[in-house]
A and B are shown apart, each in its own frame.
Chain A
């Protein structure tokens, strides 16, 4: 079975490294980026099935990333993470084709379930 390729994006480096490792342990091929702009560079050079990104980051945030992905890589599933859950952000995300909005702190098993479902639905 092909391992799902996931890019995890958050400006907290320790969070990225821990989540990437936990996803790897669960059979994903996970990579991390600590900014929206670094994420775009990786997306341009590699193939991902899904991107998980924090809404609020310095510079390019999760919503801007979703907007960009929709144009350049519409086949890539986008999941956003938020600590606040503003309804405007959620509505904007859904308009941009975000498949799921998850609240922090992350429940890794929920994230795994959402990733697998999102990619399966798009297959």
Chain B
């Protein structure tokens, strides 16, 4: 079980990095074309064509906007990478879920779905693995996206329930899970249980769907099947 959890963690990590690398490449491609267009216009000006200063400034603004976009993506990737620094850390669940939301927006966009969030205004301080929390939440969003039909809207929400937190990933539309997807959920349920967490999927087939993840304040995030950290009630 420990080996499988580690393999799944690596696959999740690799998938995120590959996806965000693609986004960074998109930014660089756009900068490449905008710089090329600027060169075309300047060369045209050197050959006697009228110079459109406003146009050149507009292109410069667009290049700067793409650089800002790239910086945002890189900072999120860096935060994601650093979420693996320690197997157990103290973290703000709201901040971790903001990271998941940013990372999941890409797969939602590619899947032509809309992802919304309602995250806590106040910090929820937890102790555990922020990486594993991200993995569980992202996997639930990914599974829901793959199984969605109809309107394709997913909502991510979180609330402090006193001795832990409750995260929900829900849609108003029905989902039908394949046996492989059901198996992934069962595996996630098992992993969460090792650290006192709970994953509930309702309803299990047909009808609007909801994943509810309950995390204890201590030991949040499934562990690798080693020493169990218990927490919460």
- Residues of chain A touching chain B, judged by Cβ–Cβ distance below 8 Å, are 12, 14-15, 18-19, 21-22, 25, 56, 58-59, 83-84, 104-106, 108
Task: For residue A108, give the distance in angstroms from its CB to the closest CB of chain B.
Answer: 6
B149: interface (CB < 8 Å): no
Query: Which residue of chain B has the shortest Cβ distance to A18 in the bound complex?
Result: B33
Chain B 29-62 against A: per-residue CB contact (8 Å), 1 yes, 0 no?
A: 1101110110011001000000000000000001
The listed residue (A12, A21, A56, A59) touching B30 by CB distance below 8 A is: A12
Query: Which residue of chain A has the shortest Cβ distance to B43 in the bound complex?
Result: A25
Q: How far is B110's CA from A12's CA once the two chains are assembled, in angstroms?
A: 12
Q: A25-B44, A58-B111 are in contact. Are A18 and B22 (CB under 8 A)?
A: no
Chain B 1-40 against A: per-residue CB contact (8 Å), 1 yes, 0 no?
A: 0000000000000000000001001101110111011001
Task: Tell me how many residues of B have a C-beta within 8 Å of chain A.
Answer: 20
The CB with the most chain B CB atoms within 10 A, among A18, A21, A106, is that of A18
Contacts of B191 in A (CB 8 A): none
Q: A25-B44, A58-B109 are in contact. Are A18 and B36 (CB under 8 A)?
A: yes
Q: A58-B110, A83-B22 are in contact. Are A22 and B36 (CB under 8 A)?
A: yes
Task: For residue B29, give the distance in angstroms from its CB to the closest CB of chain A.
Answer: 5
Query: Which residue of chain B has the shortest Cβ distance to A84 in the bound complex?
Result: B22
Contacts of A14 in B (CB 8 A): 30, 33-34, 62, 66
